[in-house]
Amino acid sequence: MSATIRRLAHLGLGLLISSLSACEGSDTATTGMSGVGSAAASATDGGEGASTGEDASGGDDGGSGSTGAPAEDDDPFDLNRENIRLLPFNVRLNRLSLLLDRPTDDPIFAVMLKRRYDLGDYDHAKGINPDLSWGSARMAAWVAALRPICNSAVMKERYPEFPIDLPELMHDAYGYTPTADELAPFLALFDGADDPDAPDQGGIDDKGTGPIDPLSPAARYELGCLAVLTSLEFVAQ
């Protein structure tokens, strides 16, 4: 396994590994996790079946009317922090729209709109209910829909160079300036990228601490962009 792959696996970016390894001809890690940062740390793998808040199927069976018992720990209701709560598709799309200052019907979002039902959107007239679970299929669809966005001129105009502009992207995407600890795993993706003394390739030790793979600058840019916009800080509540 290459150092890049190991670092991605450390970040929990299994899908990115899959998609990029296909390009780079590398072997594939299969962590199946997604997201980075604090939210990812508490996420269970995939999170299938997580509470969606959008139970359209009339899930009132468990309801006890207005006489419901209080939630645990004396909270008046239970946030159920253990489960990932993916933001509704329209909200995620809107966040991307605001990030890039482009309307949601801009061609840059064409793939995302085309795959909106794979991404959890709904159309009851077509029998499609909202689904805000965050499983491997949805993650793969999200990454696929993000790739044209990450590779767009619009993105590169706003955030021309990674890792220099990575903190700004994270700030704009998450709404806060990332701490050094939060930034570190992202920056690690670029370790040695600009080091003229770094070996071209190879020399990877078993701990994944060796020099980075020879990813092209474009692939490295895409990787950073996908990592930020696939994180739970961006896609989940």
Partner 1 sequence: MIRAPLVAGALALALGGCYSGQPAGGSGDGGATSSGAEAGSEASSTTAEGSSGGEASGGEASGSTGQPVDPDPLAELDRFTADDARHYLGTIAPMIVGRLLSESEHNLIDYFKGRGIAPVIEGWLEDPAFPETVRMMFQVKLSASGMTDEVNFELPGNLAAHIAREKLPYAEILTAEYCVDGGGAATPCDTGAPYAAGVLTTRAYLLANASRFNLRRARRMMYIFNCLAYPMDHVLQPPLEKLSLIEMFRAMTPDEQTVPEAQNGFGNGFACYSCHSQFGAHAQLFVKFDEQGVYHPEATGLQDPENELGRSQNGLFVSHFVDPVAAAQELSQVFGEPVADLRDAARVLSEHPTFYQCAARNTIEWTFGLSEAQASKTDLGLLIDLRDRLATLDHEPTIADIFRTTLTHPAVIDVVVGGG
Applying CB under 8 A, which part among 36-44, 117-125, 151-159, 218-226 lies near partner 1?
Answer: 117-125
One character per residue 202-231, x = contact with partner 1 (rule: CB under 8 A): ------------------------------
What residues between 38 and 57 interact with partner 1 by CB under 8 A?
51-57
* Unique residue bearing structure tokens 């993916």: 86
User: For residues 37 and 59, is the Cβ–Cβ distance under 8 A?
Assistant: no
- Quick one: which of 26, 129, 151, 201 contacts partner 1 (CB under 8 A)? 129
Please state the closest distance from residue 145 (CB atom) to partner 1, in A. 18
Strand partners, 66: 64
- Quick one: which of 14, 130, 163, 210 contacts partner 1 (CB under 8 A)? 130
Please state the closest distance from residue 210 (CB atom) to partner 1, in A. 35
Quote the Cα angle for 236-98-122, to 5°: 50
* Unique residue bearing structure tokens 């996420």: 43
- Which residue's CB is nearer to partner 1, number 79 or number 218? 79
User: For residues 213 and 2, is the Cβ–Cβ distance under 8 A?
Assistant: yes
- Find all residues with CB under 8 Å of 226, minimum gap 6, and list them: 13, 16, 19, 143, 146, 147, 150
- Which residue's CB is nearer to partner 1, number 64 or number 180? 64
- Nearest CA-CA partner of 226 in 3, 2, 1, 18: 18
What type of residue is 186?
F
Applying CB under 8 A, which part among 18-26, 111-119, 128-136, 147-155 lies near partner 1?
Answer: 128-136
Please state the closest distance from residue 126 (CB atom) to partner 1, in A. 6
How far is the CA of 164 from the CAs of 7, 113, 160, 169, in angstroms?
A: 19, 30, 8, 10
Q: Which stretches of the chain bind partner 1, using CB under 8 A?
A: 51-71, 75-80, 85, 87-88, 90-91, 94-95, 98, 122-126, 129-130, 132, 171, 174-177, 237
